[in-house]
Structure 1
Amino acid sequence: MSAQRSALDGARWHFNHGPIDIVAEAHGDAVEVAVAHELAWRRFAQVLDELVAELPLLRQPVGATCALQGRIAQRMWNACAPFSAGFITPMAAVAGSVAQELIACYQRPGIERAWINNGGDIALHLAPGQSARVGLFADLARFDLRDAGPITTDGQFELRAEQPVRGVATSGWRGRSFSLGIADSVTVLAATAAEADAAATVIANAVNVDDPGIRRLPASACKDDSDLGDIPVTTDVAVLAPAQVHRALDAGADRAEALQRNGLVWSVVLVCQGQWRVLQPLSSKASPGLPRTGREPMADAVGSVFA
């Protein structure tokens, strides 16, 4: 099937091609917005074929050198390279890398702000003085596609042009991709969407604890062409003791802090079974939509990203 597109309300566009679902939105000069949407559509129509052509290599663990040829494929590899000491393949950054590729079409005069939402992994363009508000949805288990009403978010935050964030990504065991951990959601704010995507995967894997209430199966038993091979992935999580959830979140927060110290993430929100942690930016100007409370448990949950 070839790539498809359809107009949505609010002058947004929906692009679809196989497993890739994109919602694109932009504001600014009407002519420039229309041109940017058309450029993004033309680029989108090429993306899946390019990735499929290098899929065998994209499913291989990141090594010392990159043998990938395509621009998106190389971006995936580069985003995952900082984590090559553990097991990671470029596929950990595919959604964010595609979103980042398309947002480049909107980085042009006359476009005030724009975002590409690839299944919750978001790339942004913000001209000087502009901002965007991102909503957080805690637990995908509560999300019902049959509900035609407006989505009620669990929290929101504002991203401003002067902040070093142009990518937001979420990972968790209920998401589209497999996870080794038990987080309902880990939301990462980073310099780019590809970097946010890779970091969210790594941090979500670290939100983990040993417990008989956690069910795992080899990734290959869940999907025969998984890039994770026989690595056990989380398939179900029972209601755990609060102390166990606390330990799992502590492990994930420790990993997030290490990445922040190395400049790989700007801010992180981790959620698991009604408990959460917020890793604030190291700069003094924290996001106004997030409480200034570091890693302490909170009463209300926050989590996965919607634009």
Structure 2
Amino acid sequence: MKSHRVARLSGNRLHLQEGPSDLVIAAFGGPSQTERAYAAAEDAFDGLLAELTGELRMLRQPLAAQPPALTGATARRMARACWAFRAQYITPMAAVAGAVADTVMAAMIAAAPRLERAYVNNGGDIAILVTPGHPLDIGVVPSLARARPEGFIRLHAAPHAAQHFRGIATSGWRGRSFSRGIADAVTVLARSAAEADAAATVIANATDVQDGAVLRRPAQELDPDSDLRHLPVTVDVGPLSPKAITAALNSGARTAEALLRDGLIEGALLSVADEWRSVGESSFALVRPTDTAP
């Protein structure tokens, strides 16, 4: 018996939901390919939460010198995505939403290899498939408190690539996961949704300033099961001075630039108090809605 909820949305999109995983999926490439992809997505999603719950204790442990002995494919995706950041405090949970999206997308591609484009959106952490001549526009929000996109990222397939699998994720202090920084939104483009999810978490954490307008509390006071334990997380941000905004953006941008140099991300957009900063502009150009092709 299936434990998740399933529905068809407008525009022939598929909605899958169980626990914190809330997926909106769209596939394009002909009716037979689309239906095969959707059937594979539902099969891959079925039981996925239970699989992760079975390894939750290890997934909540900070990464150390040795990779954790995880068995599930999605759990291993989470750990791989976070492994590059193990020098700081991070657990595989930093990539959970993106890894779930990647797992479902991988199943769709295997079942429907002639898809033209597709996305699996898990609460803003998105696995993406594009092919030559079939770009995809992804909305970007300046704040996780405001759901309306104020710009779009146009994603194209890489030259000479039959398919291009990518990921985009957004993190910030108002998101569904705790953040140690003050960014309203940090959106990251990477090779997979899990990698983008982990990197967005790290960059958002780096937008950290000590300011009287910023209120923090230990994560465990807010959620006794939090993998961040005693670490302080942001719970409120009042009006910030221009100096504090600039300092936070500079700190986050330095971290993003280092990840870009190391090949861990393709680009990032940072927003603090409606001020924007872009890193890796050549592959991550922001276009306003009025400039977007129909």
| TM-score between both structures, scaled by the size of structure 1 | 0.88
Matches within 5 A, 1:133-212: 133-143=137-147, 152-162=148-158, 166-212=166-212
1:74 to 73, 76, 79: 76
CA positional deviation for 1:165: 6.3
Amino acid corresponding to residue 39 of structure 2 in structure 1: E
Partner of 2:102: 100
Partners of 1:62 and 1:81 within 8 A in 2: yes
Q: Which moved more, 1:157-166 or 1:42-51?
A: 157-166
Partner of 1:62: 63
* Percent of residue pairs bearing the same amino acid type: 47
Aligned pair 1:91/2:96, yes or no?
A: no
Partners of 2:266 and 2:284 within 8 A in 1: no
Paired residues in the alignment total 281
Amino acid corresponding to residue 146 of structure 2 in structure 1: R
Give the Cα–Cα distance (whole angstroms) in 1 for the partners of residues 283 and 264 of structure 2.
17
Partners of 1:157 and 1:287 within 8 A in 2: no
> 4+ residue stretches of structure 1 with deviation over 6 A?
none
Give the Cα–Cα distance (whole angstroms) in 2 for the partners of residues 204 and 274 of structure 1.
15
Give SS of 1:25's match: strand
Q: Which moved more, 1:95-104 or 1:124-133?
A: 124-133
CA positional deviation for 1:109: 2.8
Amino acid corresponding to residue 83 of structure 1 in structure 2: F
Give the Cα–Cα distance (whole angstroms) in 1 for the partners of residues 253 and 266 of structure 2.
13
Give SS of 2:46's match: helix
Partners of 1:36 and 1:105 within 8 A in 2: yes
Matches within 5 A, 1:270-281: 270-281=270-281
CA positional deviation for 1:252: 0.4
Matches within 5 A, 1:113-132: 113-132=117-136
Amino acid corresponding to residue 103 of structure 2 in structure 1: E
Give the Cα–Cα distance (whole angstroms) in 2 for the partners of residues 165 and 220 of structure 1.
36
Aligned pair 1:224/2:220, yes or no?
A: no
Report the RMSD for the aligned CA atoms in angstroms.
1.8
Amino acid corresponding to residue 88 of structure 1 in structure 2: I
Give SS of 1:114's match: strand
Partners of 1:116 and 1:123 within 8 A in 2: yes
Partner of 1:20: 21
Tell me the alpha carbon deviations over residues 162-184 of structure 1, each in whole angstroms, 9 at most, x when there is no partner. 17760000000000000000000
Partners of 2:249 and 2:270 within 8 A in 1: yes
Partner of 1:40: 41
Partner of 1:305: none
Tell me the alpha carbon deviations over residues 186-224 of structure 1, each in whole angstroms, 9 at most, x when there is no partner. 000001111000000000000111101110011000011
Amino acid corresponding to residue 58 of structure 2 in structure 1: L
Amino acid corresponding to residue 199 of structure 1 in structure 2: A
Partners of 1:33 and 1:110 within 8 A in 2: no
Structure 1 unaligned segments of length 5 or more: list them. Answer: 144-151, 292-300, 303-307
Give SS of 1:26's match: strand
Give the Cα–Cα distance (whole angstroms) in 2 for the partners of residues 100 and 65 of structure 1.
20
Partners of 1:159 and 1:165 within 8 A in 2: no
Amino acid corresponding to residue 72 of structure 1 in structure 2: T
Partners of 1:213 and 1:239 within 8 A in 2: yes
Tell me the alpha carbon deviations over residues 66-100 of structure 1, each in whole angstroms, 9 at most, x when there is no partner. 21111000110010000000000000000000000
Tell me the alpha carbon deviations over residues 214-265 of structure 1, each in whole angstroms, 9 at most, x when there is no partner. 1001100001100111111000001110111100110000000011110001
| TM-score between both structures, scaled by the size of structure 2 | 0.92
Amino acid corresponding to residue 60 of structure 1 in structure 2: Q
Change in 2 beyond 3 A, CA 1:219/1:192: same
Give SS of 1:83's match: coil
Partners of 2:127 and 2:165 within 8 A in 1: no
CA positional deviation for 1:139: 1.5
Partners of 1:181 and 1:207 within 8 A in 2: yes
CA positional deviation for 1:31: 1.0
Partner of 1:244: 244
Give the Cα–Cα distance (whole angstroms) in 2 for the partners of residues 287 and 61 of structure 1.
32
Give the Cα–Cα distance (whole angstroms) in 2 for the partners of residues 288 and 256 of structure 1.
13
Partners of 1:158 and 1:287 within 8 A in 2: no
Partner of 1:255: 255
